[in-house]
A and B are shown apart, each in its own frame.
Chain A
Amino acid sequence: MRNLLFFIFGTIVLASCTTDGEILGKMNDFDQGPMLQNIGNELILPVYQNLSTSTQELKNSVEILVEAPTLESLEQARTRLKQARLDWQYCSPYQFGPAETYALSAVLNIYPIDVNQIERNLSEETYDLNTLSNSDARGFQTLGYFLHQPDLTDEELLAALTGTKTDYMLAVATQIASTSLSVYTAWSSEGGNYLGTFTSEDAFGVNVGSSVGKLVNAMNQDFERNTRDGKIGIPAGVRSLGEPILTATEAYYADYSVELFEASISAYHQLYTGGSDVGLDDYLKAIQATTTSNEELAEKIDKQFETIKMVSLSDPLTTQITNDIDPVLEVFAEMQRLIVMFKTDMASSMGVVITYQDNDGD
């Protein structure tokens, strides 16, 4: 009885000292289940399915081009390549689990490519695209290298598509399609059912190995390296004393780099808002009570996405960089602000562990 009184007294004293309004309340009512279900079923699975379909169509279109090199089949292959690249942007934030196992990102979207290595492969006629030495001689950009040659007219380009080149293109397209299919199959419930793992109760929480932990770490890493640096920063010369490196642009041989970049931003925005259902923003708002100002944070991040989208860039990005670099640097700076919010405020208030190792948190 005395202990109980002491406990009640203690609680009252504490409640009067603390700045915490409702000390007897809940920290949050958030259930990760629906969020993971939504992100897994409505965002991740469909985008991998799209990628799998569009890379298969890309492969088919390359086959048709190889068999019948006409202006139409060339145009068709180019369209398919662009579609596959656009679909890829929506998969890029999810490079964990099966995508990591199959090194999807490294197979599909490496740029800049090593043109010398490609030419060496063409002249030697024996190559294995899976080896390390060919890691910069495959993927979308390599197909782009064959399908878009600004110095050649389309007729000249078609005429130059000899047997070794067409074999190479087919090998690259086949690798892209089969790797994409493998990742989709591994996610789908009829295949490896990684979706089940991702949404299972065992993977709730935020520790190493939890779904939220993997998701947040993967998106932070991809956004920083690929969206901020790869698509914008490196071509604009941010990492080379302001000297632009135009050849490092994504889709350098084509002319839709900005379109790909915009798709990437909207992919991230979609992940953040959860599309039409529960997303990371709702998670942040729900854990408001455990931190100081998550309500604001959730809105701040949303606004930051809008700010990034407001900056207008136009294709081709190389021309934009050469003629008017300021908006490019501006969009870079805005992405930098977004990364601070992702990596500090968001990761911290969710308690996501940014590491693979035990530590005692000090």
Chain B
Amino acid sequence: MVTSLNQQIIKDRLIYRKVTIAPLVTFRVLFGLLMFLSTVRFWSKGWIYDLYVAPQVFFPFISGLKPLSETGMYLIFAGLLITSLAITLGLAYRLSTTLFFLLFTYVELLDKTNYLNHYYFVSLISFLMCWLPAHRDFSLDIKYGWTKPLRQVPIGLINVLRFQMGVLYFFAGLAKMNSTWLLEAQPLKMWLSSNVYKPLIGWMFQYKLTAYAFSWFGMIYDTTIPFFLSWNKTRVIAYFFVVAFHMMTWWLFPIGMFPFIMIVITTIFFRPVFHQKILTHLKRLLRWRDDKSADEASVTPALKWVFSLFIILQLITPLRFLAYPGELFWTEQGYRFSWRVMLMEKAGQATFYVSDKDSERRTMVANYDYLTPQQEKMMATQPDMLVQYAEFLEGEFLNKGMKDPVITADVYVTLNGQPSKRYIDPDVDLTEVTNDWRHKEWILSNE
């Protein structure tokens, strides 16, 4: 009886309690703007061409997925610009969020070379946005009378976003709990020591203790920050740490927009009334007049199912590496989609050999004829990409008239400053191996 009452209270505090819709609205405005700016930046750097038009080979997450023509790819990014603005304005919100999610995710699935945790994060957030009523106040949809405003929403709809942020941080911290990171301060020693030339505090980076301090602080910060952000008493100081931490990483490492995205959207942890104040100011600024009529929001069974499934998947996915034998950082089986951010320094060199079956004569592949430097670098340390490249080469050499190309590779990899070692079995024919979620036995151990 007591427990069921407690359960009731917990359920109420986490899911059903009604709060102002303001946090969802400010989140919508900020997220849309950030995505718009990120896309403008991506475009202006010429990366649409460099990453999705120029390469001859791609490493898609889904077999057979290919980029569109050059015009097609530019149209996709134009679509991202339009939908991200539409999200900010709350214009045709359901359609814009859904389109944004689909277009963005399509682009990210095209090439594993460009996989970044924060792109995955954007995909997840935009997926959640499709289901959230973030357009039900202070939006063009309301202004045009396409939908009725909501004053309040169940707090669960805000908490699901907080959960996603929390998962990112927490698992990023968990991943840092390994002896290399904590007891050897690697790879931060390698990364930080090259920052010794930075102004003002560069001198700090010549000391090992700095690397240790950063390693430990990073681990503790990541694992605990979602909790400190959730707690009223510590939230302000915690947010100060969020800003300081991400500005530091931005200053030290080439990580693009990620720090800013995190700094801005971590505000979802602020109390709903805080968002309401901001929203009231915004409304006054833009002479927004509230409609008298309003709908009641509830957590529909469909939403419950979608979010429950989502939460379960988010908790399982980062842990799936446990199902594989061997050292995770070495084999990278179960590495992606797990919030392992800035965790290891890995470099490799892969030389591919092709010969026709039953023939002694073999030829060496010049990777630079087919791959961009970035693709070559990424491919050399990730087994599934090695196989995908071998598949591509098989097609090339079939076209050149080979009957049954046998493709092997000499791969050497260095992890966190250890001397490079042979990475995969040099005799295994990479056209004959399976490339799915099953364990790849041909990866050699890092002993």
Asked if B72 is at the interface of the complex by the 8 Å CB criterion, the answer is: no
Question: Which of A19-27, A46-54, A127-135 lies at the interface?
Answer: A19-27
- Chain A's closest residue to B175 (CB) is A362
Q: In the complex, how many residue pairs between chain A and chain B have their CB atoms under 8 Å apart?
A: 174
Interface of A is mostly: loop
Q: Please indicate which of the listed interface residues A18, A289, A343 has the most CB atoms of chain B within 10 Å of its own CB.
A: A343
Task: Report if A239-B183 is in contact (Cβ < 8 Å); known contacts: A291-B417, A292-B417, A351-B191.
Answer: no
**Chain B positions 147-199 with a Cβ under 8 Å from a chain A Cβ:** 183-185, 189-195, 197-198
Some 6 contacts from A to B, beta carbons below 8 A apart, are A17-B183, A225-B368, A297-B419, A336-B410, A344-B414, A361-B342
Asked if A84 is at the interface of the complex by the 8 Å CB criterion, the answer is: no
Contact of A224 among B191, B343, B368 (CB under 8 A): B368
Task: Report if A359-B116 is in contact (Cβ < 8 Å); known contacts: A18-B183, A341-B420, A344-B420.
Answer: yes
Question: Which of A62-70, A199-207, A251-259 lies at the interface?
Answer: A199-207
Asked if A233 is at the interface of the complex by the 8 Å CB criterion, the answer is: yes
Min C-beta distance of A198 to chain B, whole Å: 14
Name the A residues within 8 Å of B216 (CB-CB). Answer: 10, 14
B345–A348 CB distance below 8 A = yes
Task: Report the bound CA distance from A284 to B420 in whole Å.
Answer: 15
A345-361 near B? 1/0 per residue, CB < 8 Å: 10111110111111111
Asked if B258 is at the interface of the complex by the 8 Å CB criterion, the answer is: yes
Asked if B311 is at the interface of the complex by the 8 Å CB criterion, the answer is: no
A272-314 near B? 1/0 per residue, CB < 8 Å: 0000000000000001011111001100000000000000000
Contact of A362 among B342, B348, B365, B377 (CB under 8 A): B342
Contact of B118 among A345, A357, A360 (CB under 8 A): A360
Name the A residues within 8 Å of B116 (CB-CB). Answer: 359-360, 362
B349–A351 CB distance below 8 A = no
Closest 4 CB pairs of A and B: A291-B417, A204-B197, A358-B256, A348-B347
Asked if B1 is at the interface of the complex by the 8 Å CB criterion, the answer is: no
Asked if A32 is at the interface of the complex by the 8 Å CB criterion, the answer is: yes
**Chain A positions 192-238 with a Cβ under 8 Å from a chain B Cβ:** 201, 204-208, 217, 221, 224-225, 229, 233, 238
Name the B residues within 8 Å of A150 (CB-CB). Answer: none
Asked if B287 is at the interface of the complex by the 8 Å CB criterion, the answer is: no
Task: Report if A354-B258 is in contact (Cβ < 8 Å); known contacts: A225-B368, A290-B417.
Answer: no
Asked if A28 is at the interface of the complex by the 8 Å CB criterion, the answer is: yes
Task: Report if A296-B419 is in contact (Cβ < 8 Å); known contacts: A205-B197, A351-B194.
Answer: yes
Asked if A34 is at the interface of the complex by the 8 Å CB criterion, the answer is: no
B349–A350 CB distance below 8 A = no
Task: Report if A344-B413 is in contact (Cβ < 8 Å); known contacts: A19-B183, A205-B194, A207-B254.
Answer: yes
Name the A residues within 8 Å of B47 (CB-CB). Answer: 357
Asked if A241 is at the interface of the complex by the 8 Å CB criterion, the answer is: yes
Task: Report the bound CA distance from A22 to B184 in whole Å.
Answer: 11
Asked if B351 is at the interface of the complex by the 8 Å CB criterion, the answer is: yes
Which residues of B approach A to under 8 Å, CB–CB? 45, 47, 50-51, 115-118, 183-185, 189-195, 197-198, 205-209, 211-212, 216, 253-256, 258, 340-349, 351, 355, 361-366, 368, 373-374, 377, 410, 412-414, 417-420
- Chain B's closest residue to A287 (CB) is B193
A340–B420 CB distance below 8 A = yes
B208–A349 CB distance below 8 A = no
Task: Report the bound CA distance from A357 to B256 in whole Å.
Answer: 9
Min C-beta distance of A337 to chain B, whole Å: 9
Name the A residues within 8 Å of B258 (CB-CB). Answer: 360
Task: Report the bound CA distance from A292 to B363 in whole Å.
Answer: 35
Min C-beta distance of A27 to chain B, whole Å: 4
A359–B420 CB distance below 8 A = no
Min C-beta distance of A357 to chain B, whole Å: 6
Task: Report if A229-B366 is in contact (Cβ < 8 Å); known contacts: A348-B347, A358-B255.
Answer: yes
Name the A residues within 8 Å of B414 (CB-CB). Answer: 344-345, 348-349
Task: Report if A348-B346 is in contact (Cβ < 8 Å); known contacts: A205-B194, A205-B195, A208-B254.
Answer: yes
Name the A residues within 8 Å of B212 (CB-CB). Answer: 14, 23
- Chain A's closest residue to B197 (CB) is A204
Q: Please indicate which of the listed interface residues A27, A206, A217 has the most CB atoms of chain B within 10 Å of its own CB.
A: A27
Name the A residues within 8 Å of B348 (CB-CB). Answer: 343-344
A50-62 near B? 1/0 per residue, CB < 8 Å: 0000000000000
- Chain A's closest residue to B419 (CB) is A293
Asked if A240 is at the interface of the complex by the 8 Å CB criterion, the answer is: yes
- Chain B's closest residue to A201 (CB) is B197
Task: Report the bound CA distance from A26 to B193 in whole Å.
Answer: 9
A26–B208 CB distance below 8 A = yes
Task: Report the bound CA distance from A260 to B354 in whole Å.
Answer: 30
Contact of B343 among A27, A343, A362 (CB under 8 A): A362
B347–A27 CB distance below 8 A = no
Contact of A347 among B183, B253, B347, B413 (CB under 8 A): B347
Asked if A191 is at the interface of the complex by the 8 Å CB criterion, the answer is: no
Asked if A327 is at the interface of the complex by the 8 Å CB criterion, the answer is: no
- Chain A's closest residue to B339 (CB) is A362
A20-45 near B? 1/0 per residue, CB < 8 Å: 10111111110010000000000000
Asked if A339 is at the interface of the complex by the 8 Å CB criterion, the answer is: yes
Task: Report the bound CA distance from A361 to B116 in whole Å.
Answer: 8
Task: Report if A19-B190 is in contact (Cβ < 8 Å); known contacts: A27-B211, A205-B195, A290-B417.
Answer: no
Name the B residues within 8 Å of A292 (CB-CB). Answer: 417-419
Name the B residues within 8 Å of A204 (CB-CB). Answer: 197
Contact of A339 among B117, B209, B349 (CB under 8 A): B349
Name the A residues within 8 Å of B192 (CB-CB). Answer: 27
Min C-beta distance of B82 to chain A, whole Å: 24
A240–B346 CB distance below 8 A = no
B377–A239 CB distance below 8 A = no
Min C-beta distance of B120 to chain A, whole Å: 10
- Chain A's closest residue to B192 (CB) is A27
Contact of B256 among A29, A238, A360 (CB under 8 A): A360
Task: Report if A349-B195 is in contact (Cβ < 8 Å); known contacts: A27-B206, A360-B117.
Answer: no
Task: Report the bound CA distance from A289 to B212 in whole Å.
Answer: 14
